[in-house]
Amino acid sequence: MPRNPEKDQQLREQRKQQILQSALQVFFRKGYSGAKVSEIASEAGISHANLYNFYKSKDDMYEALLDYVQDFYGQLTIEASRQLGSAKEKLLWHCRHLLNSSVKVEYIYLIVQTPSSDSIPENIRSKAAAKARENLEPLIRIMQESHREGKAVSDQPEMMALCYLSLIQGLAVCRFRGFGELSQPLPEEVVRFFIAD
């Protein structure tokens, strides 16, 4: 039976995603410098040698994973800025989706860990920093909108967007540190720090 190139490509992409999800777990548990390619291969259920058919190196895997996570977050933030309604409703939508358990705490951990780890190659850290700034822009626009609506708690939209993002990231860190319910406030409670009723 002849091979189907489309099916082969689809299977290859599925395997790459499986490897990335396994890499996410290993990087989350061990950090970048502590993670070994052999552990990622084992977690993915493939041989060490076979993993290299998909990714050239640990750096390559980490960069692909970080691209995936930052693109996911960027799309979520853009979607929030395009919601109908007030700035508060847009930020509530964003906050609900980020605090929702379907957004893996590991994603946020990866974003937080990358700029602070000297063991991660500089080119990956620089690329991540540029993408982080790009992903902040839709939040800045929401904060600017809240200012125009007269509901902003500050007249510094960039600072408010950064503080909001820092709060969300801090809550994620608290979640994996075992703070339980304390690290999962209602989105309305979070948004109230930034946009008045």
Distance, in Å, from the CA atom of 26 to the CA atom of 41, rounded to the nearest integer, reads 10
State the Cα–Cα distance between residues 92 and 195, nearest whole angstrom.
Answer: 10
Is 136 exposed, middle or buried (CB count within 10 Å of its CB: 0-12, 13-18, 19+)?
Answer: middle
Judge if 35 and 104 occupy the same domain: no
Same structural domain for residues 30 and 72?
A: no
196 lies in some domain: no
Q: Which domain holds residue 6?
A: 1-55
Supply the pLDDT for residue 159: 97
Among residues 55, 76, 98, which one ends one of the domains?
55
Residues 171, 100 share a domain? yes
- Give me the number of domains the chain comprises: 2
Same domain, 115 and 174: yes
Q: What is the pTM of this model?
A: 0.85
Mean pLDDT in runs of 10 for the chain (197 residues)?
77 92 92 94 94 94 94 94 97 90 76 88 94 96 96 95 92 78 81 92
pLDDT of residue 169: 85
